[in-house]
Structure 1
């Protein structure tokens, strides 16, 4: 019995830690919501028609403080705000650790179409009473129970199956070893066309191709994207009936970073080992920014169609005339930084702008004064910097120090140095630069939205409710 009690201590600890985890998660979400509501009221800009509105400014501050991406910051703000303003009774239960985060996500999604505050209050009270017993249920069952509540008080607010089509998407996620996982939800007809195309391409090689059928299907993806009618056969036979298959080619461009010894190894150069079996002097390093490392074998597959271009030596780069960086400077900055330099932001180089830390022409177009920002953070830097806003200072090694409007200081370092240590080399020290005061009317030049966030949300809710109403009218009870 004493041994059983001893083992039971671990169960008790796991249960207690689960409760502590729920309480901590709830506290974080509610704190994010309170901060967002208070900070937006404090800002009070009313720039709802701007791309960078008060919501974006709040997300930037929260993301920097927590070291998380803009998307995750926006999710925390949305969850916290909805708990505080739409589900106050349930929020108390959630804060006490009574409900798991997974259940909260389902609740917020299923209740999103309720617009009447009185109806929302009814559902809120029911959720506060019932949700603590849902933690062991599947997402599908939790959704059904929420819908059961909503259908009684607001039938047009029930989210129906048609929402699946609106959630269609296609995503690529790096999974390591030079591979990515492709997944998503698409229209059935488009999925059928894709399936047939991949299957047809996979069958264009001869029976001696060494790959499995599943591997040929995977290798057919790029051929399908490039509208090729066949894939290359890898059997290597002189009498291969598929020897004339076209090799997919097109105008798509991907960037691969690799050290010279790695490239030489992949090319099979004897002095670097290659196909001779000799040892490689340095570890093989190759990287597709945004997708992760790849092996030398993968690099060897890419090299025949690639153009090898050395990344410029920082010692060879200096100040350039004009605002637009040269290709050499852009290559160096992109490979040094790899991602947006805003704290917590992981937007890859392909979707970033090159920003002048000290705005041009006061600051030169120089590697010590340029770095990557994604478009949103570039806009924040451009239109919300200076007194009362953000300021950033760039060091010669690429380290960036940002000071938030609240005075908090954040430091980010270039990601390139994590993979390629040579990018830690400092560029020239520019010295003090007189920063011109920002224009008092700069907001007038900021890009605007066609519809504000509030208008977009109201439109989506009204659109879905209208579809639900039409469905109910066309299929009146009994169903």
Structure 2
């Protein structure tokens, strides 16, 4: 295949990919019109209304989380009801997902039907020529058209006090990263406090400044106000007892052989992933180790599982069992797949469901 033919194959595949995504959203919009009409008064006050029920159905069908399904449904509704010409353009493959989400989000505040129709027509005409633009330039072009038809519909940037967050997530086995966006004065205060705690040890402390700052952050998270020196000198003035900290419980699942050094299989920290075997053995002496025993092969009497069986189910499932849902076991309920008393109180008939999917399950059997 010549170079030009390869380029043609790439562009054709890209257009097909865009078109397939557009057709998917068109189909989702059609399903919404059939399954979750706005005038469905019978379900409007239900805990799981027509919209929420459709989100759950989509998440199961597409094997994605409920949040991603809700975002996809919202986009499909906007293309069907607000920007149908943009939706048709997407289904034809002329624009991509980035362009569609930008157009929908930047026009989100426009409510007048006439202005929205004119905006939809302008977007459908110009969007293919905007594909080459960078993010900031694309926002400028879109906002220019929104400003032309509805000046009050231009999306204003968030103020610094609104656009703040702190996130914690895994970056490698046994290690997490912390990302934050704070108001400048809060960030400076936090940075200054870390430096002050990191400097509150003697010069013989073996840790680097970065290590002391990390330890200071954990001290703050534990409710302590100072950092203990690790120089090892009995007469160190900074070696005194630290402020007592409240107890924090972290559940880590590991094999007995790993703790005893007979295996190097990693442990598992729910929500964060693998924990290296060496780190597990290092932390084990200060941990409360509880064995998870296999339940009896026979069903238990009664509806509510025993504490031992409940613990086994939570350690086995770890999260809500509904497709695409990752709500942690601590926030889930134990559900009988086949309702009791027809279905037994046995591990094979028990699973974890979050509150939302528990309500969805109950609705299925009560409908």
- Shift, 1:166, TM fit: 4.0
Query: What is the match of residue 270 of structure 2?
Result: 289
Distance 2:132 2:215 in 1: 41
Which structure is richer in relative contact order (CA contacts within 8 A, separation 6 or more)? 1
The one of 331, 338, 343 equivalent to 1:351 is: 331
- Shift, 1:220, TM fit: 3.2
The one of 256, 266, 275 equivalent to 1:260 is: 256
Query: What is the match of residue 364 of structure 2?
Result: 385
Partner deviation per Cα, 1:199-256 (whole Å, 9 max, x = no partner)? 3333334445454433433343332222212335555566665433638742322210
- Shift, 1:79, TM fit: 0.6
Unaligned segments of structure 2, at least 5 residues: none
SS for the counterpart of 1:131 is helix
- Shift, 1:7, TM fit: 3.7
Conserved? CA contact 1:113–1:157, under 8 Å:
yes
Structure 2 residue 2 is the aligned partner of structure 1 residue 6: yes
Distance 1:231 1:298 in 2: 23
SS for the counterpart of 2:36 is helix
Unaligned segments of structure 1, at least 5 residues: 265-271, 273-280, 387-437, 441-479
Distance 2:298 2:180 in 1: 43
Query: What is the match of residue 356 of structure 2?
Result: 376
How many residues are paired up?
Answer: 367
SS for the counterpart of 1:319 is coil
Query: What is the match of residue 200 of structure 2?
Result: 204
Conserved? CA contact 1:222–1:248, under 8 Å:
no
Query: What is the match of residue 276 of structure 1?
Result: none
Distance 2:257 2:153 in 1: 61
SS for the counterpart of 2:120 is helix
TM-score (norm: length of structure 2): 0.88
CA distance 1:71–1:32, change in 2 (3 Å): same
Conserved? CA contact 1:233–1:245, under 8 Å:
no
CA distance 1:318–1:43, change in 2 (3 Å): farther
Structure 2 residue 311 is the aligned partner of structure 1 residue 315: no
Distance 2:292 2:201 in 1: 38
CA distance 1:347–1:327, change in 2 (3 Å): same
TM-score (norm: length of structure 1): 0.69
SS for the counterpart of 1:23 is helix
- Shift, 1:362, TM fit: 5.4
Query: What is the match of residue 243 of structure 1?
Result: 239
Conserved? CA contact 1:177–1:293, under 8 Å:
yes
Higher deviation after alignment, 20-29 or 83-92: 20-29
Q: RMSD value over aligned CA atoms?
A: 2.8
CA distance 1:305–1:115, change in 2 (3 Å): farther
The one of 145, 150, 153 equivalent to 1:154 is: 150
The one of 177, 180, 186 equivalent to 2:173 is: 177
CA distance 1:208–1:92, change in 2 (3 Å): farther
Query: What is the match of residue 56 of structure 2?
Result: 60
Conserved? CA contact 1:119–1:154, under 8 Å:
yes
- Shift, 1:342, TM fit: 0.8
Distance 2:182 2:5 in 1: 48
Alignment of 1:75-94 (within 5 A): 75-94=71-90
SS for the counterpart of 1:115 is coil
Distance 2:27 2:46 in 1: 26
- Shift, 1:339, TM fit: 1.6
Distance 1:249 1:346 in 2: 30
Distance 1:101 1:248 in 2: 52
Distance 2:159 2:88 in 1: 30
- Shift, 1:152, TM fit: 2.2
- Shift, 1:112, TM fit: 1.1
Conserved? CA contact 1:231–1:245, under 8 Å:
no
Distance 1:85 1:212 in 2: 59
Conserved? CA contact 2:109–2:154, under 8 Å:
yes
Distance 2:274 2:232 in 1: 28
Partner deviation per Cα, 1:318-367 (whole Å, 9 max, x = no partner)? 515453x4432222111111121112222222332222323445545443
SS for the counterpart of 1:16 is helix
Partner deviation per Cα, 1:351-399 (whole Å, 9 max, x = no partner)? 32222323445545443332111121111011x223xxxxxxxxxxxxx
Distance 2:172 2:300 in 1: 38
SS for the counterpart of 1:146 is helix
The one of 40, 53, 73 equivalent to 2:69 is: 73
Runs of 4+ aligned structure 1 residues displaced above 6 Å come to none
- Shift, 1:187, TM fit: 3.9
Conserved? CA contact 1:317–1:367, under 8 Å:
no
